């Protein structure tokens, strides 16, 4: 490989690794959500959560936490089980994508493009109903990942 093309290749590898790290982060976050949802199925957890909320010293923190607990009170065990299971499934998908991207596997790039694009309509719909800077950032980041990977796949398709 000519020396002139190596730095560009390393830059692409760094970008691919950054995307992989992002996927690993999402996988860890989803495992945490899944474990939290399953933990809420235990009866003593709600009592402990209410005790912790009562111990919060700042009124604004207490009100926000009580609001969150109030929303969770109406969630049934079937919904919590589904949330937990779904979180673990998506965490596994993100972990597989992350490993494949870390190892610069072409199949992982295709899977990442497909799974990321599958979430774009949901993100756009949510953003239209509940506009927020974080929602715009998430959608923008996901579209940037897709555009980068599609360009990379196209370049590699021409060169291979």
Tokens of 65: 């936490």
Cα-atom radius of gyration of the chain, to the nearest Å?
A: 20
How far apart CA 98 and CA 86 sit, in angstroms, is 18
* Per-residue pLDDT, 6: 47
How far apart CA 151 and CA 124 sit, in angstroms, is 22
Tens digit of each residue's pLDDT (9 = 90 or more) over 4-42: 444 555 666 899 999 999 999 999 999 998 888 888 777
Tens digit of each residue's pLDDT (9 = 90 or more) over 120-141: 998 999 899 999 998 899 899 9
Question: Does the pLDDT value for residue 62 go beyond 60?
Answer: no
Tens digit of each residue's pLDDT (9 = 90 or more) over 31-41: 998 888 888 77
């Amino acid at each position: 490989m000519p020396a002139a093309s190596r730095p560009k290749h390393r830059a692409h590898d760094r970008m691919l690794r950054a995307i992989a790290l992002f996927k690993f982060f999402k996988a860890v976050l989803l495992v945490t959500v899944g474990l939290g949802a399953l933990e809420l199925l235990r009866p003593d957890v709600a009592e402990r959560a209410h005790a912790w909320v009562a111990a919060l010293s700042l009124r604004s923190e207490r009100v926000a936490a009580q609001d969150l607990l109030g929303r969770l009170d109406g969630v049934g065990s079937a919904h919590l089980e589904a949330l937990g299971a779904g979180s673990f499934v998506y965490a596994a998908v993100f972990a597989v994508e992350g490993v494949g991207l870390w190892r610069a596997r072409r199949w992982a790039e295709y899977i990442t493009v497909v799974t990321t694009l599958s979430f774009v309509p949901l993100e756009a719909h949510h953003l239209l109903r509940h506009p927020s800077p974080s929602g715009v950032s998430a959608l923008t980041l996901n579209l940037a990942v897709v555009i980068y990977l599609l360009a990379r796949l196209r370049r590699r398709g021409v060169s291979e």
